[in-house]
Amino acid sequence: MKTRLLLAGVLVFTTMFAKAQTVRVEEREQPIEGVARRGQQLTVELDPKLVEKSWKEHLGQKAGKVKYRKGVYSIDGAVIDTISSTPLKVLSKVGNNSEEGSYVWWSLDMGTAYVDKSATPAEYAAAENFMRGFARKVYRQDVLRQINEAEDVLRTTKLEQDRVVKQANDIQLSIEKNRKKRQELEAELAKNAEELKQLELTVEENVAQQELSRKQVLEMEKSVEGVRLKLQSIK
């Protein structure tokens, strides 16, 4: 029963991943400390907690030291060569995007201008590629997680199979032992029955011998009495 539930869980995860292929990047505004800022928003169909943890690590690896305050991640002097040759100020948020999964939003300040689809199309396209690269990364991480869970289920299933096979072998061994013991008991009972029959015959013979011996004693007593009488008749 437990194994069937685990396998069902793996199928659910696989089905979820099969549906969770959406990667969408679009221009969106987000309020940051009361100020509406324009930036890029990535949508992925994954758990927000998983996405947020991965995004923070990704920013730290690719851009620089990440700060966090009131739900906003920020990096001063971020170096992302694939987007801009000059340091950037990064503001970012991660949240739940209703039924679509999670969103990752960021705004990139190049000092002289913000990364904008119209004003800085080259930088915008590079930033979009950065976002899409992150999306591919988190999807791969999710696949690897599901593979690990599936392998755990497989190991558990194999262990359960080994346990069932061993149990069957143990049962068969017990049956063989029981059958052998029964045969030994039946042989012992047959031997006991033969011994009982022999003992009964011996008892019958003994009774006959007792009767013969009793007659012999009586006859001997008569003989002795006859001799005693002859002795008394001599004067």
Q: Rounded CA gap, 73 and 66, in Å?
A: 6
Determine the pLDDT at residue 224: 77
Alpha-carbon span 193 to 199, nearest angstrom: 10
Q: Count other Cβ atoms within 10 Å, centred on residue 94.
A: 22
Closest CA to 101 of 51, 156, 157: 51
218 pLDDT band (50/70/90 cuts)? confident
Q: Which domain holds residue 41?
A: 14-149
Whole-number average pLDDT of the chain: 87
Is residue 209 a part of any domain in this protein?
Answer: no
- 25 in a structural domain: yes
pLDDT at residue 8 greater than cutoff 60: no
| 38 within some domain | yes
Coil, strand or helix: which one is 234?
Answer: coil
CATH number at residue 31: 3.30.310
Least confident window among 11-20, 74-83, 177-186, 211-220 = 11-20
Q: Is 91 a domain residue?
A: yes
Higher-scoring residue by pLDDT: 230, 60: 60
- Asked whether the predicted pLDDT for residue 206 surpasses 70, the reply is yes
Is 181 part of any domain?
A: no
Q: Tell me which of 102-111, 114-123, 134-143, 220-229 is least confident.
A: 220-229
- Say which range, 1-5, 51-55, 79-83, has the weakest mean pLDDT: 1-5
Q: Which residue has the tokens 């976002």?
A: 131
Using alpha carbons only, give the angle 214, 218, 224 rounded to the nearest 5 degrees. 140
127 in any annotated domain? yes
Write the pLDDT tens digit of every residue in 144-200. 998 999 999 999 999 999 999 999 999 999 999 999 999 999 999 898 888 888 888
Whole-number pLDDT of residue 18: 43
**CA-based R_g, the chain, Å:** 49
Residue 108 lies in a domain: yes
Which pLDDT belongs to residue 147? 92
Is 79 inside a domain boundary? yes
Number of domains in the chain: 1
